[in-house]
Chain A
Amino acid sequence: MSGHPTFEELEAAALGEEPLPEVVAHAGQCAECARELAWLRAEAQLVRRRPHPALRPEIWRAVEERVHAPVPISRARRWRPVLAATAAMAAAAALAVVVRPPVRTPGVGQGDAGGSEEIATEADPKARQALDRAAGDYRSALGVLEQEYQTARGRLDSRTQKRWDESFARARSIVDASAQARNDPEERVRLLDGSAVMVRSLRHALEDSEEVAR
């Protein structure tokens, strides 16, 4: 070995991770590296020789109980509107196809080369009803999720609370905007798509949040 070994090489040797023979050989001749290696070895020995805590058998029992526990019925019932809204997502996606393609009607600039065209969208009454239903579903789903969040809000730190509050405020504003865009089906579908994404993300975030699920 021409120069000194790297710190990582000395450390690997100290921690028993396949030490390179040349590292050990070098440390045998170099006081500086020998000292470093001795330090690292002593440090590792000291840390590793501490007593190992006993693993209480109740821990596994509790894990087993929790991982095999069915979802409580009450929670499943409470979340039914959220699941319904998930179905509404598919409906909204299908409607996006029904509503499109837009009907192009001559606009102000008719006759001009490259003139503008006013884009109108066919407002099928059935599609409108379905969109109303989807918007209603998202609103109820959001209500359920928010209720769930409120029960756990007190357990979260202020920064996490702020993040959740902002997410819910944003989701509400999108759902509200979709309700107000009744005369613009294209825009409404876009906002409903946004609502779908928000509801889905919030649902997954709540499901994954152990602090909320407690």
Chain B
Amino acid sequence: MAETARPVASLSGVPVPPATDHPGALLRGRGEVLPERDLLDRARRGEPEAFRVIFDRHAPSVRRFLGDLLRDDAAADEATQETFVRAHARMRTLREDERLGGWLLGIARMVSMEQLRRWRRDPLPLPDDELREPDRAPSPEAALLSGEADRLLDGALRVLSAERRSALLMRIDHGLPYEQIAEAMGWNLQKVKNEIHRARLQLRERLSAYVEGEAS
């Protein structure tokens, strides 16, 4: 995906050393997969390598989620950073029965909402007729593979409100159960179901021709 001109203030640009050189390798080596509960216990005790493993496991989906909400690569990178800094500070507040993935997406959603609010307050100086969608163009390979479908889907997702899009993607893209989405969104279960249902209807309206063609 293309980069935008928006700066990422605090990114140092220094490449991360190979996996075996940093402490996270202690937990990730030998193909070991640490159960989430143990990982959380270790992270809560302040073990930096445990937090690194959490980052490695969850950052890709957090980054993808934020890219979908903010639709700007640099802002999504910065928001991913912010999400994990907040998660680190609040690790002790995570309840035993709460799932890490949903909890992180909940934080990410809050971070993205703050960013969207800032943009509403201080919009970028873009020409009136230009949408702020500078970096959603798929790579040429992706365009060859699924150009029309992606374009339709992208347009369909774009018209959803940020909240509705969050809920829908938490369910379809990230596989969160409704209860976790309710927790992450701060909604009741019925509202989650209603919003996702409405989001689906909007999506179907735009995708019907393509999906029915594929399904038949």
Interface of A with B (CB < 8 Å)? 8, 15, 17, 35, 38-39, 42-44, 46-68, 155, 157, 210-211
Give the contacts of B164-216 with A (CB-CB under 8 A). 169, 171-173, 175, 178, 200, 203-204, 207, 211, 214-215
Flag if B12 contacts A62 (CB, 8 Å).
Answer: yes
Indicate whether B153 reaches chain A with its CB closer than 8 angstroms.
Answer: yes
Evaluate contact between B15 and A60: CB separation under 8 angstroms.
Answer: no
Question: Of A8, A43, A56, which is in contact with the most chain B CB atoms at under 10 Å from its CB?
Answer: A56
Whether B15 lies near A53 (C-beta < 8 A) is no
State how many angstroms separate the Cβ of B27 from the closest Cβ of chain A. 15
Q: Is the interface of B mostly helix, strand, loop or mixed?
A: helix
With the chains together, A54 CA to B2 CA distance in Å? Answer: 11
Q: Is the CB of A62 within 8 A of B204?
A: no
A selection of 25 A-B contacts at a CB cut-off of 8 Å is A35-B215, A43-B203, A46-B207, A47-B153, A48-B173, A51-B138, A53-B67, A53-B73, A55-B60, A56-B77, A58-B12, A58-B15, A58-B77, A59-B77, A60-B55, A61-B11, A61-B16, A62-B8, A62-B11, A63-B85, A63-B88, A64-B48, A66-B81, A68-B48, A210-B114
User: Once bound together, how far apart are the Cα atoms of A136 and B149, in whole Å?
Assistant: 66
Q: Is the CB of A51 within 8 A of B139?
A: yes
**CA of A48 to CA of B139, assembled, Å:** 16
Q: Mark B61-77, 1 if CB is under 8 A from A, else 0.
A: 00110010000010011
How many Å lie between the Cα of A157 and that of B117 in the bound state?
Answer: 8
Chain A facing B: main interface SS: helix
Say yes or no: is B103 at the interface (Cβ < 8 Å to chain A).
no
In angstroms, Cα B14 to Cα A8, docked, is 46
Distance of A56 Cα from B16 Cα, bound (Å): 9
Complex Cα distance, B64 from A52, in Å, reads 7
A43 to B196, CA, bound (A): 13
Q: A15-B175, A42-B214, A211-B114 are in contact. Are A65 and B10 (CB under 8 A)?
A: yes
Q: On chain B, which size bracket covers the interface? A: 35 or more
Cβ of A66 to closest chain B Cβ, rounded Å? 5
Determine if B173 and A53 form an interchain contact, defined as CB atoms under 8 angstroms apart.
Answer: no
Report yes or no: A53 in contact with B76, Cβ–Cβ below 8 A: yes
Cβ B149 vs Cβ A46 within 8 A: yes
Q: Are A53 and B1 in contact (CB under 8 A)?
A: yes
**B172 to A57, Cβ gap below 8 A?**
no
Contact A43/B11 with A57-B16, A210-B82 known, Cβ cut-off 8 Å: no
- Tell whether, in the assembled complex, residue A55 and residue B63 are in contact, meaning their CB atoms are under 8 Å apart: yes
Additional A-B contact list (16), CB under 8 Å, known A42-B214, A50-B142, A62-B8 = A8-B178, A39-B211, A39-B215, A47-B173, A54-B1, A56-B11, A56-B77, A57-B15, A60-B52, A61-B11, A61-B12, A63-B81, A63-B84, A65-B12, A66-B85, A210-B114
B207–A58 touching, CB < 8 Å: no
The answer to whether A58 and B13 touch (CB under 8 A), given A43-B200, A66-B85, A157-B117, is: yes
With contact pairs A15-B172, A48-B172 given, residues A53 and B10 touching in the complex (Cβ less than 8 Å) = no
Bound Cα distance A161, B165 (Å): 28
| CA gap between A155 and B117 in the complex, in Å | 10
Identity of the chain B residue whose Cβ is nearest the Cβ of A39 in the assembled complex: B211
